[in-house]
Structure 1
Amino acid sequence: MDQFIRSLTLNRAEVPSFLEYPFNLAAIRNLEILSFHPQVTFIVGENGSGKSTILEAIAVAYGFNPEGGTKNFNFSSKATHSRLNNYIRLVKGLKKPGDGFFLRAESFYNLATNIDELDSAPSFGPPLINSYGGRSLHEQSHGESFFAVFQNKFRGNGIYILDEPEAALSPSRQMSMIARIHELVGQGSQFIIATHSPIIMAYPQACIYEIQEGFESVKYEETEHYQIMKVFLNNTKKMLAILMEDLK
């Protein structure tokens, strides 16, 4: 009961058709109930399996802007989010978060732009960018700006929904992100993360769902991402020879 989001239920009886997007996706087609770890839940799977779609629906149903940010953001560059959020029900715990953020890699540029635009308008309060480290996110590299959000904007006791946060991070930064996640978990936070990164999903004692024909709870070493990366790193020359032979 201490966690912010306990589970998700798909209102299957109200779905118009499981042949239509987004209900035809592997992540949604067989979905009934999805339970979340009180600290860290990972959602992994192949491109097009529905990871980002389900994460977006969770974020929007919880009250976040579809393009990311805190609940106070309401900008929209182009409305492309699915209607899945209208067909799910989130079961919340008794505890209410003191902080929260929806971070999605594909619209991070729009978020950074909106922060700059808000700060350029007349205001009686401190600049919004102060909460992000005091330096425009556009004046930093993609990876630096991503990490500035993790380090400065995430304050703890919060619900953090992250869509492919590794997109801009080097392997060493991904390891630093694990440390930051652990610090925030110790401060009472809950994470729901969609990722392709075998580094980030190594966070211990997390729940990992791999999308196959549905959501399958798996151990870290059982994930396809981990197994493929392990085979490649342990047999690099052989794997490259096979891949390049296929191109002939």
Structure 2
Amino acid sequence: MALEPKPYLQQVSLRDDLEFDFEAFPLSLPAVRELGTLEFHPDVTFFVGENGSGKSTVVEAIAVALGFGPEGGTKSVQFRTADTVSSLHAMLRLIKSFRKPSDSYFLRAESFYNVATYMDEVDYLKGYGGRSLHKVSHGESFMATISNKLRGNGLYIMDEPESALSPTRQLAALSAIHKLVQDESQFIIATHSPILLAYPRAKIYQFDSSGIYEIDYEDTEHYAITRDFLNHYSKRLGDLLEDH
């Protein structure tokens, strides 16, 4: 049986040669404490969960363990505007493919402004469409990155990329992700977007107080709550706003 080059990042787990303080952050988070072994889909793997569940903490740790700077960008972008990186990256064991991706990027929504500023400072705009990311909207800068900077045959880590995107732009991002997957790319994405989560055949990991486990798209709260609200929005608004 021939070896497959993807997934470029196959597994991540807590190292078994270290002693851990499970009462200290980030291992105090139930999902992180019960990390076990995460196996990644060759194409797209999603992390979902409530705010504070640990999904962004794990995404950051994976990215830093792979060599990215904590605020995002390519691996050559290594600045830090704040010392807020958890120690989790040093606790991880990564299992990689025999083949390295030829491209890579870490898109982190909360610090993307800082990456855009850095790109202006070093006068590197060619890879982003030739225009300062500060001279377009937040959503346009995200799409410029996804559409221009990501070249394919790559490993791409994303933390809440939908945060600046309208529903229409989320659909455009989904299409761009699919084109990159067809060009031998792998994605690991933390998201709240039921639109992005609909990507077919993706693996979805739910983060919650019981740990981390695989879940089907239609079983996610993101899908169920969105569908219920849109189908019964008048009643749901009445319930939510009653006595207010």
Structure-2-length-normalised TM-score: 0.96
Aligned partner of 1:16 in structure 2 is 20
Aligned partner of 1:166 in structure 2 is 162
CA offsets 1:73-120 (integer angstroms, 9 cap, x no match): 11111121101000001100111111000000000000000011111x
SS in 2 for 1:14: coil
2:62 paired with 1:58 = yes
Which residue of 114, 129, 133 corresponds with 1:133? 129
Give the fraction of aligned pairs with identical amino acids, expressed as a percent: 54
| Residues 58-97 of structure 1 mapped to structure 2, 5 A cutoff | 58-97=62-101
CA RMSD of aligned residues (A): 1.1
| Residues 229-240 of structure 1 mapped to structure 2, 5 A cutoff | 229-240=226-237
Aligned partner of 2:221 in structure 1 is 224
Q: How big is the shift at 1:211?
A: 1.0
Which stretch of structure 1 is more off in the superposition, 213-222 or 7-16?
A: 7-16
Q: How big is the shift at 1:215?
A: 1.3
Alpha-carbon separation, structure 2, partners of 1:180 and 1:41:
16
CA offsets 1:28-80 (integer angstroms, 9 cap, x no match): 11111110001100000000000100000000000111100001111111121
2:218 paired with 1:211 = no
Q: How big is the shift at 1:13?
A: 5.7
Aligned partner of 1:193 in structure 2 is 189
Structure 2 letter corresponding to 1:228: I
**Contact 1:60–1:85 at 8 Å: present in 2 too?**
yes
Alpha-carbon separation, structure 1, partners of 2:221 and 2:194:
9
* Matched residue count: 239
Alpha-carbon separation, structure 2, partners of 1:141 and 1:26:
37
Aligned partner of 1:36 in structure 2 is 40
Alpha-carbon separation, structure 1, partners of 2:230 and 2:185:
34
2:206 paired with 1:202 = no
Q: Flag as ranges the 4+ runs of structure 1 deviating above 3 A.
A: none
Aligned partner of 1:116 in structure 2 is 120
**Contact 1:42–1:201 at 8 Å: present in 2 too?**
yes
Which residue of 174, 178, 197 corresponds with 1:178? 174
Alpha-carbon separation, structure 1, partners of 2:139 and 2:42:
28
Structure 1 letter corresponding to 2:159: D
Structure 2 letter corresponding to 1:53: T
Q: How big is the shift at 1:14?
A: 2.2
Aligned partner of 1:244 in structure 2 is 241
**Unmatched 5+ stretches in structure 2:** none
Structure 2 letter corresponding to 1:64: F
Alpha-carbon separation, structure 2, partners of 1:70 and 1:59:
10
Which stretch of structure 1 is more off in the superposition, 109-118 or 10-19?
A: 10-19
SS in 2 for 1:73: coil
Q: How big is the shift at 1:17?
A: 1.4
Alpha-carbon separation, structure 1, partners of 2:35 and 2:107:
24
| Residues 99-110 of structure 1 mapped to structure 2, 5 A cutoff | 99-110=103-114
**Contact 1:27–1:54 at 8 Å: present in 2 too?**
no
Structure-1-length-normalised TM-score: 0.94
Alpha-carbon separation, structure 2, partners of 1:88 and 1:171:
35
